[in-house]
Amino acid sequence: MNENLKRLTDAGVSIWLDDISRERLRSGNLAALIRDKNVTGVTSNPTIFASALSKGDAYDAQLRDLATRGVTVEEAVRAITTFDIRWAADVLRPVFDATRGVDGRVSIEVDPRLARKTEATIAEARALWWLVDRPNLHIKIPATVEGLPAITQAISEGISVNVTLIFSLERYRQVMDAWLSGLEKAKANGLNLATIESVASFFVSRVDTEIDKRLDKIGSPEAAELKGKAAVANARLAFAAYEEVMNSPRWQTLRAAGARPQRPLWASTGVKNPDYPDTLYVEQLVTAGVVNTMPEKTLDSSADHARISGDTIRPFYQQAWDVMASLKQAGIDYDDVVRALEEEGVEKFEASWTELLETVDSELRKA
């Protein structure tokens, strides 16, 4: 195993790959990453699938079959994406078994056009859970206001959930409350809580992108000094909030009943500003009991030159609070930032889903 990635794993960080494609699966690349780079999970989203469909010939045979059957475009998209997710879940099943269900997980997202529709999201989560039919599946549900009751309901029915598109500390606390409520209902329903696993995907790099843009507009020397600091500070404070919940009597009661923690998952960890170190959101967010899902480029950079040196979250809570206070003093409206990021995140995934539908429609017509 790569030494840098081994140090990351030894520090308690689970390394997941933020990518999936039929070509990666059929070539054995995912299996190789599990073996050589300690990848222990996979996340997907509409953008990733749209990209995968646009490259190579890996989907051609299935597309021909779907065209012959005359299925709708949306049915074809579900057939294609769930095929890949099942395959990835099977490749990761040994990891799932070896970690007793902690890792070895694969995520698939509900149709992002449903992000503001609670009942439709619940129905979609149930359908995907049934369709993929793998114990190491995560259903991704966005952390919109409308998504929160869907998270509770899915968890209460024994569906493992990856809560996605979390940007704000307040929303993260609401997500944890929704998760705990779901576990309490599952317990009341007599379900085995140990089989219900969840992660909360807290987005990182997009926070710096948005806040840096606003700092540039402010233009003061003090504002310039704060660039590239917001995302890490925000994520560190999210972990502080997580620790508070983990120490609460409410969680202790559920843990005693067999429940598993909802681990924080650092998402959007590819560095978008070339002026910043390309392993910034790996090196600065290390602590035991978290997941870092990385694009392959970030994974390769981390394997090559990441410097992993102990816990870089817990000792820095005060520093994180100081950064957030300085941002406010500089004129950054945090609530407006995270509201804009959530709206943009939903819009981007909706656009990618539309692109995916259009790509499949085009391919079906050619098949």
H-run or E-run covering 216? helix 205-218
Chain-centre distance for alpha carbon 124: 18
CA atoms within 13 A on the CB side of 31: 11
pLDDT of 21 reads: 96
235: confidence class by pLDDT, cuts 50, 70, 90: very high
pLDDT of 354 reads: 94
Task: Report d(CA 244, CA 104) in Å as an integer.
Answer: 27
Q: Using CB atoms within 10 Å of the CB of residue 270, give its burial: 0 to 12 exposed, 13 to 18 middle, 19+ buried.
A: middle
| Whether the predicted model's global pTM rises above the 0.95 cut | yes
Mean pLDDT on 212-217: 98
DSSP classification of residue 331: T
- Res. 246: pLDDT tops 80: yes
pLDDT of 56 reads: 83
94: confidence class by pLDDT, cuts 50, 70, 90: very high
pLDDT of 351 reads: 94
Mean pLDDT on 115-139: 98
Residue 297: active-site member: no
pLDDT of 54 reads: 85
Residue of 37, 140, 187, 229 marked catalytic: 140
363: confidence class by pLDDT, cuts 50, 70, 90: confident
CA atoms within 13 A on the CB side of 163: 35
pLDDT of 318 reads: 98
| CB atoms inside a 10 Å sphere around CB 97 | 12
pLDDT of 366 reads: 86
For residue 297, give every residue at least 6 positions away whose Cβ sits within 8 Å of its Cβ, in sequence order, or none: 270, 278
Q: Using CB atoms within 10 Å of the CB of residue 100, give its burial: 0 to 12 exposed, 13 to 18 middle, 19+ buried.
A: exposed
- Res. 273: pLDDT tops 90: yes
- For the chain, the straight-line distance linking the first and the last C-alpha, in angstroms and rounded, comes to 42
Instruction: Read off the pLDDT of residues 280-324 as tens digits, 9 standing for 90 and up.
Output: 999 999 999 999 999 999 999 999 999 999 999 999 999 999 999
DSSP classification of residue 261: P
Mean pLDDT on 156-179: 98
pLDDT of 141 reads: 98
Instruction: Read off the pLDDT of residues 6-64 as tens digits, 9 standing for 90 and up.
Output: 999 999 999 999 999 999 999 999 999 999 999 999 999 988 998 998 888 999 999 99
Cβ atoms of residues 6 and 308 within 8 Å: no
pLDDT of 152 reads: 98
Instruction: Read off the pLDDT of residues 322-360 as tens digits, 9 standing for 90 and up.
Output: 999 999 999 999 999 999 999 999 999 999 999 999 989
Phi and psi at 140, nearest 5°, equal -85, 125
- Res. 367: pLDDT tops 80: no
Strands 13-17 and 39-42 turn out to be parallel
Cβ atoms of residues 292 and 269 within 8 Å: yes
| CB atoms inside a 10 Å sphere around CB 220 | 11
Task: Report d(CA 330, CA 314) in Å as an integer.
Answer: 26
CA Rg value for the chain: 20
Q: Using CB atoms within 10 Å of the CB of residue 44, give its burial: 0 to 12 exposed, 13 to 18 middle, 19+ buried.
A: buried
Determine the length of the chain. Answer: 367
Task: Report d(CA 343, CA 110) in Å as an integer.
Answer: 17
- Res. 248: pLDDT tops 90: yes
